[in-house]
Amino acid sequence: MASSLSSPAILLLLLSAATLFSLLTTPVSAASRLNAGQTLQPGQSLAEGAYLFIMQQDCNLVLYDNNKAVWATGTNGKASNCYLKMQSDGNLVIYSGSRAIWASNTNRQTGNYYLILQRDRNVVIYDNSNNAIWATGTNVGNAAAVVIAHSNGTAAASGAAQNKVNELYP
């Protein structure tokens, strides 16, 4: 029984199927949000446009803007096999095994905290009420912010100016 499809048509059909399969299995861009209980393993990152917030293999957590570092924890070389965890108590922590090597020092009551890499380049931790409790202070553009320095060398933003949640997730 002869096929009604010619060899070029079969080849085109197979190529189309292979292209569709590769599109379905190709990873999409990294998310820009890390929810309570989630981690970034070495090499994993959050992305937003040209910004990349990555847990590097050397245990340094770095924010890049077009491949230029604009913020870092400075923990490179201080441990090995590190990972970043957004804890349910609101604390963002870099662990090496069970040992904490850096923290945002924002631990509070258990809740639905999350970290987000915003479109303005700022990385912010929000609490249950969408209030900013910590930020890298790296925002660019016209966004005004009140920045509060912390003892660990990081900064927290407060006020509605830093609350980009409604902009990102209407």
Cα separation, 162 vs 86, whole angstroms:
19
C-beta of residue 92 within 8 angstroms of C-beta of residue 86: yes
Instruction: Give the distance, in angstroms, between the CA of residue 58 and the centroid of all CA atoms in the same chain.
Output: 17
State pLDDT tens for residues 46-94: 999 999 999 999 999 999 999 999 999 999 999 999 999 999 999 999 9
What confidence tens digit (pLDDT) does each residue in 109-144 have? 999 999 999 999 999 999 999 999 999 999 998 644
